[in-house]
Amino acid sequence: MSAQSFFVTTPIYYVNDQPHIGHAYTTLAADVTARFHRLAGDDVFFLTGTDEHGQKVAQSAVAAGVTPQEFTDRVSGNFRALTASMNFSNDDFIRTTEPRNIAAAQALWRAMAQATAPDGQPALYLGSYSGWYAVRDEAFYDPAELKDGPDGQKFAPSGAQVAWVEEPSYFFRLSAYGEALLAFYESNPDFIAPTSRRNEVISFVKGGLRDLSISRTSFPWGVPVPGDEKHVMYVWLDALVNYIAALGYPETGAGTAYDRYWPADLHLVGKDIVRFHTVYWPAFLMAAGLAQPKRVFAHGWLTIEGQKMSKSLGNSIAPAQLVDTYGLDQARYLLMAEVPFGNDGDFSHETAVRRVNADLANGIGNLAQRTLTLIQKNCGAVIPDRQEFTEQDMNLLARAYDLHRSVAVDIDRQMFHEALRAIWAVIGEGDAYIDANAPWALKKTDPVRMATVLFVLAETLRCIGIVLQPFMPDTMSKLLDQLATPPDKRSFSSLNAADGLVSGAKLPAPQGLFPRIVETAGA
């Protein structure tokens, strides 16, 4: 049987900004998901990239004194570098300025231009736009949504300043798609998550949709509209198309990547860009006659020490800085463990230190160190012989062999913190087991039982190590090396006794997994 395909995406990042941990957050969640599905045996495609057209990027290029192309070439590299610095396993990295994205955007445009909207009218038409636009959000706003600021300035609900725009524009007849969208949400209750976001979107659509301006004429940095090159496409159109451009759209026949991976299983996005992914994107796809993605999950925003990350406050944390301070896998763990995915949450140094010490150094680190050191000292540095299992032994092992199943449910709901909590519950059971059986005291009194207890602990650690790989790949690979687990026995299909540790296998000298963070006074 061929493997099941699984396609997960991140938003593509605007290159006007340096990457900060808010950006790394979305891609990390996608990385954990992709790695998890690979270990489950799925045929995974994990996509990320950069969003390089539009007024915002063009303005940043002017400010930097270079052409938009030079600017985007340089800054896109900063996002690409995240793959190495955060150990992301993306299968592709797409830039919207690449020929493949431009070709896909133009093909989608043509497909929409030939389409008839549900009201029987053409899906695209030429008109003239006059209204409010926020360059920072690259979004149009209704007058009713705006707040007044000083000196007649107006602001979008996001806080971005808006400006009045009047220019010829092509429109997408979004107003005709409301019912079709509502029917789609209704029959696909898992399409938008969490539920609070789903409710927001449904009430937004029920409130009535306006046609969407999808081209601009007042600046040139974008994808030319086919057949009318005075216009460039609205940046969100050529951004959203990246998800199918990377699969080779408009080639869609049997044997293509599109055929293999579309529809996407999961678009991960931040809460600020839900509307684009759950209203505009599905409507474009309906018009073009393409299948809908299966799920859009919107996560919350991270703050730093209680404050919004901003250029003016200068408090953004670069992903590399996080890795330097806490270590790579520690940083990955912290971002996933602390905040329930979907909620807003804060990153603070104090919490980070507490969690590294409590969960990593004293938690899994200590359990592994105690077990491996005892095996080293008391069992000749080989996987010990085991005798009959007690009920307690079997209970712990059953929990360990089963762990990936409950974790899979959490991962499929994007509840990463709950997945970690479930894994830590088994680590806690391992701690209780080692304390209850006190293998260090059995050396003289019952060495046979000591060997069985240490076998059970090592086998439990093997399972924990396998299930934790998506979150902390490097460190768990170190742990599995220390348990002499061969590389081809590290997927979920090896979570059973038959593929378990082999008594007598030689083990290397144990090494600590996670050093404690000791803060010197005044630091």
Smallest gap, in angstroms, from Cβ of residue 496 to ligand MSP?
A: 38
Q: Report if residue 51 touches ligand MSP, rule: CB under 6 A.
A: yes
Sequence-distant (≥ 6) Cβ neighbours of residue 423 within 8 angstroms: 403, 407, 464, 467, 468
Residue 170 and residue 125: Cα distance in Å, rounded? 6
**What phi, psi does 248 have (nearest 5°)?**
90, 10
Q: Which of 273/480 has CB closer to ligand MSP? A: 273
Q: What is the DSSP string of 501-522?
A: --TT-B-PPP--SSPPP-PPTT
Give the CA angle between residues 220, 224, 230 to the nearest 5°. 60
Smallest gap, in angstroms, from Cβ of residue 467 to ligand MSP?
A: 26
Rounded to 10 deg, the angle between the 55-64 and 68-80 helix axes is 100
Q: Which of 171/236 has CB closer to ligand MSP? A: 236
User: Which of 6, 7, 8, 25 is in the footprint of ligand MSP by CB under 6 A?
Assistant: 25
Smallest gap, in angstroms, from Cβ of residue 236 to ligand MSP?
A: 7
Smallest gap, in angstroms, from Cβ of residue 344 to ligand MSP?
A: 8
Smallest gap, in angstroms, from Cβ of residue 233 to ligand MSP?
A: 13
Binding mask 62-91 for ligand MSP (x = CB under 6 A): ------------------------------
Q: Which of 50/87 has CB closer to ligand MSP? A: 50
User: Which of 6, 7, 8, 14 is in the footprint of ligand MSP by CB under 6 A?
Assistant: 14
Smallest gap, in angstroms, from Cβ of residue 13 to ligand MSP?
A: 4
**DSSP collapsed to 3 states, 434-447:** HHHHCHHHHHHHCH
Residue closest to ligand MSP when measured from CB atoms: 270
Query: Are 249 and 218 in contact, with CB atoms under 8 Å apart?
Result: no
**Where does this chain touch ligand MSP (CB under 6 A) — which range of 12-20, 84-92, 367-375, 422-430?**
12-20
Q: Work out whether the CA dihedral 345, 88, 269, 408 comes out positive or negative.
A: negative
Smallest gap, in angstroms, from Cβ of residue 22 to ligand MSP?
A: 2
Three-state SS for 13? Answer: strand
Residue 85 and residue 325: Cα distance in Å, rounded? 13
Smallest gap, in angstroms, from Cβ of residue 108 to ligand MSP?
A: 13
Q: How many CA atoms lie within 13 A of 232 on its CB side?
A: 17
Question: In one letter, which amino acid is 401?
Answer: Y
Q: Which of 76/213 has CB closer to ligand MSP? A: 76
End-to-end CA gap in the chain: 57
Question: In one letter, which amino acid is 41?
Answer: G
Smallest gap, in angstroms, from Cβ of residue 33 to ligand MSP?
A: 15
Smallest gap, in angstroms, from Cβ of residue 276 to ligand MSP?
A: 7
Q: Which of 322/403 has CB closer to ligand MSP? A: 322
Q: Report if residue 340 touches ligand MSP, rule: CB under 6 A.
A: no
Smallest gap, in angstroms, from Cβ of residue 239 to ligand MSP?
A: 4
Residues 259 to 298 in contact with ligand MSP, rule: CB under 6 A = 269-270, 272-273
Q: Which of 36/243 has CB closer to ligand MSP? A: 243
Q: Which of 52/393 has CB closer to ligand MSP? A: 52
Q: Report if residue 117 touches ligand MSP, rule: CB under 6 A.
A: no
Provide the 10 A C-beta neighbour count for residue 299: 24
Smallest gap, in angstroms, from Cβ of residue 36 to ligand MSP?
A: 20
User: Which of 6, 7, 8, 12 is in the footprint of ligand MSP by CB under 6 A?
Assistant: 12
Residue 10 and residue 26: Cα distance in Å, rounded? 6
Q: Report if residue 162 touches ligand MSP, rule: CB under 6 A.
A: no
Whose CA is closest to 430, among 505, 500, 362?
Answer: 362
Smallest gap, in angstroms, from Cβ of residue 10 to ligand MSP?
A: 8
Q: Report if residue 453 touches ligand MSP, rule: CB under 6 A.
A: no
State how far the alpha carbon of 366 is from the alpha carbons of 359, 423, 430, 484, in Å: 10, 15, 11, 19
Give the CA angle between residues 23, 26, 31 to the nearest 5°. 120
Q: Which of 12/225 has CB closer to ligand MSP? A: 12
Number of residues that bind ligand MSP (CB under 6 A): 19
Binding mask 381-420 for ligand MSP (x = CB under 6 A): ----------------------------------------
Whose CA is closest to 367, among 499, 264, 456?
Answer: 456
CA 134: distance to chain centroid?
26
Q: What is the DSSP string of 169-188?
A: EEEE-GGG-HHHHHHHHHH-
Q: Report if residue 22 touches ligand MSP, rule: CB under 6 A.
A: yes
For 96-160, strand residue ranges (E) read: 124-134, 139-141, 147-148, 154-155
Residues 298 to 337 in contact with ligand MSP, rule: CB under 6 A = 301-302, 309
Residue 177 and residue 116: Cα distance in Å, rounded? 11
User: Which of 6, 7, 8, 13 is in the footprint of ligand MSP by CB under 6 A?
Assistant: 13
Q: For binding to ligand MSP (CB under 6 A), which residues are involved?
A: 11-14, 22-23, 25-26, 51, 239-240, 242, 269-270, 272-273, 301-302, 309
